[in-house]
Chains A and B, each alone.
Chain A
């Protein structure tokens, strides 16, 4: 499967979001979310994804999930089962079928 190319709008990106370690409690206890991000000119990155999550999935207490541009300290991010530190963190560009996992390591979620 080749990434969609062309100079107009890119195709929508379908990804799987997972929340664990208590972070799911901020999302009605739902651990797994299949979401589709609308196609846009620039490719989606994690930074934009966080904004999207905040607007579309997270309904309460956003400060318990995001702080500033990034995730709240104590929340780990895995991109396709690898530490996001190895993948470029906020700059990582999302690809179709990516699996992004957020795990809270904070006590009680």
Chain B
């Protein structure tokens, strides 16, 4: 029989509540409350210790978040990111060696407009979260997703890393200890939600609804969200972006990524750190926690989270690839409790060879300058590699079928149409050279796709028109096209040289 005499919150004041007969595997005294793994049942107190220790250990082991560094926490209000916020808060209040030493800020992206919530409903959620954020004393930014429509094209350009090579972790620790170590936050930086115009919300909804499948819409939404987060981090002077993806989410993401043809990007999509933007490094410190651990921690220690509807809320198991994969993993997890951890450990071993051993390019040069980062997901392009891949085969067969359909315009004609494609709505109008303008549209799509990785091409393919993408993406696409065309034009005048670095 085991005894629990710590302070229990509110309603448990009665004496006869049935308790588990198992004792905690750690302290061997208190009643177990959570089964973390098969056979590993922890009591409340030991579970809390286990949970908070993991966070410190993860940040300590990886040594990527420097003392004193400005870190932007992306909090969606969901269980995982809310837990992450609580852990950071807890970590900063610790003494001495247990103390976290970075300077946090919070960003919340309000996606209510994307799922068709009314302004009142959105404001209600924002108010709830504001209370939580204010309590932390950290600076916070509440950003409506509509702002993605006004992003500059520069968000699609990778910047040089913000840390000079001399900035070693040790030096940073030393520097931090020399300076005053108390973290003070000016509440002046707390930013309420900017007002949103209805026309903006409608424009955002048009962007998303142009994607015909839930799978593509999900992908598009997460791409746009990512761009906005990176932009916010850059403009507010943060160098790290902390995401709350749990081990369970990442296991689902890993399998989803593979199903969506993102095999080459999987390491960046699910690893602890992700440097695709160069100056802003994304870190995922919650990747050691299962969704179950998080749910228990939040419930037992009153970490409030806000359930906001997402695109696939109340959608069935087969509504999208993301949803189907999630259902597959969670169902398997019921009978094989090591499913998630097995997938997760596999993801740890994966890495992209491209980034770590650049074959012929300068380490400091962002991939974009060589034109090999995907326009949408900013990942290193997988497409350039092999001529005989399945991907190339798909492309060729698609090109052939397009040519057949539209009286085989010459490749030259296709190319020239790319800069100003006409909208498909007034299709039927004949253009000067006697072709229907819908083939211009197709040409634009084909050209546009050349700037995307395989997976993003699939997403764009599900869209009714590339014209419905936000302006900053279209402008950057045109910029890149012009650069490619210019390169082609001057190609003959360039001296042949094996070394790529000579042309800067």
Contact = CB atoms under 8 A, between A and B. Distances in A.
Contact of A73 (B22, B31, B311, B330): B330
| Interface residues on chain B, size class | 35 or more
Contact of B19 (A21, A76, A80): A80
Nearest to A20: B299
A108 B33 contact: no
B389 interface: no
Given A63-B316, A80-B12, A81-B300, A108 B311 contact: yes
B53 interface: no
B443 interface: no
Interface string A58-81: 001101100000000110101111
Given A86-B35, A107-B323, 8 more contacts: A24-B307, A73-B330, A74-B326, A78-B296, A83-B41, A87-B20, A95-B16, A98-B17
B313 A76 contact: no
B418 interface: no
Contacts of B18: 79-80, 87, 92, 95, 98
B462 interface: no
Contact of A21 (B31, B295, B300, B310): B295
Contacts of A103: 295, 299
B477 interface: no
30 contacts: A20-B307, A21-B79, A24-B307, A25-B309, A25-B313, A26-B314, A73-B334, A76-B296, A78-B299, A80-B17, A81-B33, A82-B33, A83-B20, A83-B34, A83-B296, A86-B33, A86-B35, A87-B18, A95-B18, A97-B17, A99-B17, A103-B295, A103-B299, A105-B292, A105-B330, A107-B310, A108-B311, A109-B307, A109-B309, A109-B313
Contacts of A1: 14-16
A12 interface: no
Most chain A CB neighbours (cut-off 10 Å) among B11, B18, B300: B18
Interface of A: 1, 16, 20-22, 24-26, 60-61, 63-64, 73-74, 76, 78-83, 85-87, 92, 95, 97-99, 101, 103, 105-109
B249 interface: yes
Interface in B290-348: 291-292, 294-296, 299-300, 305, 307, 309-316, 322-323, 326-327, 330-331, 333-334
A53 to B, nearest CB: 17
A106 B295 CA distance: 11
Contacts of A76: 292, 295-296
A80 B11 CA distance: 10
Given A80-B12, A86-B32, A21 B41 contact: no
B331 A73 contact: yes
Contacts of A83: 20, 32-35, 41, 296
B248 interface: yes
A82 B20 contact: yes
B248 A82 contact: no
CB-CB nearest 4 A-B residue pairs? A108-B310, A86-B20, A105-B291, A74-B330
A92 B334 CA distance: 19
Nearest to A63: B316
A82 B307 contact: no
Interface in B205-261: 248-249, 252
A101 B12 CA distance: 14
Contacts of A16: 11
Contacts of B17: 80, 95, 97-99
Nearest to B43: A82
